[in-house]
Amino acid sequence: MNQTQTMTLPIPVRARWLTLLGWLALVALVAAELYGFRVSVPDRDMGNLQKIMYVHVPAAWMSFLAFAVVFGASAMYLWRGEEKHDLLAASAAEAAAVLTALTLALGSIWGRPTWGVWWTWDARLTSTAVLLVIIVGYLALRSFTDDPERRAKWSAAVGILGAINVPIVYMSVRWWRTLHQIQSDPSTVDPAYVKALRVNAIAFLLVLVYFIAQRYRAARIERAIERDAEERAFAEGSTNG
Amino acid sequence: MGEWSYIWAAYSVTWVALAAYAVYVTRRARRAAEAGRALNREAGENA
């Protein structure tokens, strides 16, 4: 495997921009949610329940984006064999799991008063649940496999398979007759709600970037520490042998 | 349950999920950075 991208001592540990990004994401999220509450008028059919869209839809979009990162980084790992791509895919996978679970929970909370049920085996809901199972499986696979190279290869394959499910989730509302409405995007949402939806999506994007960047930073440092320990053990073994 | 109960539930779940993961990921990165710094110091002393 190509190991040219691995870290050696000294390990770069400073990342002040990440602290700034974290605070920026927090402020943006608070401001975006307040903005959504302030500007949106009650929907004709759903009333104020429409406001759930400002968290449910951005959470779903960002979960798709996190899966796209998993896909891209996994493909890069299989192509180039560089550890940094494996660590990036794993970092994005954790964020994808959190956001997919959040999307399902918010959809359930929204579904109860609008559809009358917490859950139904609708194509959109079921395909999203499958996506969650795959990404949880990806994380479980990583935690059960000790050999870093084997772990990276297997999880890259699972990550790519999981991400391939994303277009199916996205198109499910058009391909099958579903209880879920068609995709929410600026072309399908009432113009009165588009700006607030965009503002909330940007805030969620900052949160996602923070999650992935911070987790990736931790993963890189942890791996560098592990490698240093392995090298020391090897050196001690060579000296004693 | 009135409609506002569902809205508050949705926003509360969002904040709990995002805050919990943010705390986890920040603390993990901070712990890793501290361990990395200690290793860097040790390497500097042995150099």
Residue A202: pLDDT above 90? yes
Q: Could A55 and B11 be called an inter-chain contact, meaning their C-beta atoms sit closer than 8 Å? A: yes
Residue A143: pLDDT above 60? yes
- Split at pLDDT 50, 70, 90, the class of A137 is very high
Cβ within 8 Å of residue A56, ≥6 positions away: A103, A106, A107, A110, B10
Taking phi first (over 0 means left), then psi (-120 to 50 degrees means alpha), and beta for anything else, what does residue A81 get? Answer: left
Could you give the percent of chain A with pLDDT greater than 90? 68
In whole angstroms, give the CA distance from residue A26 to residue A31.
9
Q: For residue A232, what pLDDT is reported?
A: 83
Q: Which of B13, B17, B35 sits opposite A109 (nearest CB)?
A: B13
Q: How many CB atoms lie within 10 A of CB A87?
A: 23
Q: Which of A47, A49, A106 sits opposite B14 (nearest CB)?
A: A106
User: Each residue of A53-101: pLDDT tens digit?
Assistant: 999 999 999 999 999 999 999 999 999 999 999 999 999 999 999 999 9
- Which is more confident, A181 or A193? A193
User: Each residue of A19-30: pLDDT tens digit?
Assistant: 999 999 999 999
Q: Could A105 and B37 be called an inter-chain contact, meaning their C-beta atoms sit closer than 8 Å? A: no
- Phi–psi pair at A119, nearest 5 degrees: -150, 145
Q: For residue A5, what pLDDT is reported?
A: 46
Chain-centroid distance of CA A74 in Å reads 14
Q: Which of A48, A59, A224 sits opposite B36 (nearest CB)?
A: A224
**ipTM of the complex, rounded to two decimals:** 0.91
- Split at pLDDT 50, 70, 90, the class of A42 is confident
Q: How is A118-147 classified by DSSP, letter by letter?
A: S----HHHHHHHHHHHHHHHHHHHHHH---
Q: How far is A183 from chain B (nearest CA, A)?
A: 20
Residue A9: pLDDT above 70? no
Give, as one character, the DSSP assignment of residue A48: G
In whole angstroms, give the CA distance from residue A177 to residue A168.
14
- Tell me the chain A residues in contact with residue B43 when contact means C-beta distances shorter than 8 Å: 9-10
Length of chain B in terms of residues written: 47
In whole angstroms, give the CA distance from residue A212 to residue A85.
12
Stretch A195-201: mean pLDDT, rounded? 94
- Tell me the chain B residues in contact with residue A9 when contact means C-beta distances shorter than 8 Å: 39-40, 43
Residues of B near A (CB-CB distance < 8 A)?
Answer: 1, 3-4, 6-7, 9-11, 13-14, 17-18, 21-22, 25-26, 28-29, 31-33, 35-37, 39-40, 43-44
Q: Could A112 and B22 be called an inter-chain contact, meaning their C-beta atoms sit closer than 8 Å? A: no
Residue B17: pLDDT above 70? yes
Q: State chain A's mean pLDDT as an integer.
A: 90
CA distances A83 to A10, A147, A189, Å, are 18, 13, 41
Q: For residue B42, what pLDDT is reported?
A: 82
For tokens 């540990």, name the residue: A13
Q: How far is B16 from chain A (nearest CA, A)?
A: 10
The torsion defined by the Cα of A176, A45, B11 and A213, in degrees rounded to 10, comes to: 40
- Tell me the chain B residues in contact with residue A23 when contact means C-beta distances shorter than 8 Å: none
- Tell me the chain A residues in contact with residue B47 when contact means C-beta distances shorter than 8 Å: none
The torsion defined by the Cα of A189, A190, A194 and A197, in degrees rounded to 10, comes to: -60
pTM of the model: 0.90
